[in-house]
Amino acid sequence: MSPVTAYVGVGANLDDPIAHVSRALDELGQLPDTTLVSRSALYRSAPMGPPDQPDYINAVCALSTGLCADALLDALRALEAQHGRLRDGTRWGPRTLDLDILLYGDESIQAEHLKVPHPGMAERAFVLYPLAEIAPDLNVPGLGTLQGLLRCCPRDGLQPIRG
């Protein structure tokens, strides 16, 4: 299989989230048959879910991968587990690491366990702004240009973290 560019959203809000996100970005480039092509800056955002949780640290990266989408998803879940992520069914709750396949080439995937483009990404500033940092001219399958999506998505308090 020839390499595909996959965009992955990275987030955390527990147990030193800056360290979890930074380490995960490095580890993503070490996945089998995968190279880290680019990574955004880190951003701080308010939680989407219950308000009684810490702010999130978010980033987006581009990977060149020979893994199929399902194998990439399995690798991301294994990496989340290595960071202490517990999948207890809580939606949008606090977590040590959250890795989401945002885009996988120009594919549209609508399986029960994987939906690409990632549902809701068009309304999420913590996805769109970091994504635009590394791929400003991107066309999102079924959704249009990234620049068009940005025009409809306010920053909503999204703050870049200065290093």
Q: What is the pLDDT of residues 45-100, one digit of tens each?
A: 999 877 789 999 999 999 999 999 999 999 999 999 999 877 666 666 789 999 99
CATH of range 4-158; options 3.40.50.2300, 3.30.70.560, 3.20.20.80, 3.40.50.410:
3.30.70.560
Q: What residues act catalytically?
A: 85, 95, 98, 100
pTM of the model: 0.95
**How many whole angstroms separate alpha carbon 132 and alpha carbon 68?**
24
Average predicted confidence (pLDDT) for the chain: 94
| Residue 112 pLDDT exceeds 70 | yes
| List of residues 6+ apart from 32 with CB closer than 8 A | 67, 75
123-145 pLDDT per residue, tens: 999 999 999 999 999 999 999 99
| Amino acid 162: pLDDT | 73
Tell how strand 115-116 and strand 159-160 pair up. unpaired
What average pLDDT score do residues 113-131 get? 96
Give domain limits for the chain. 4-158
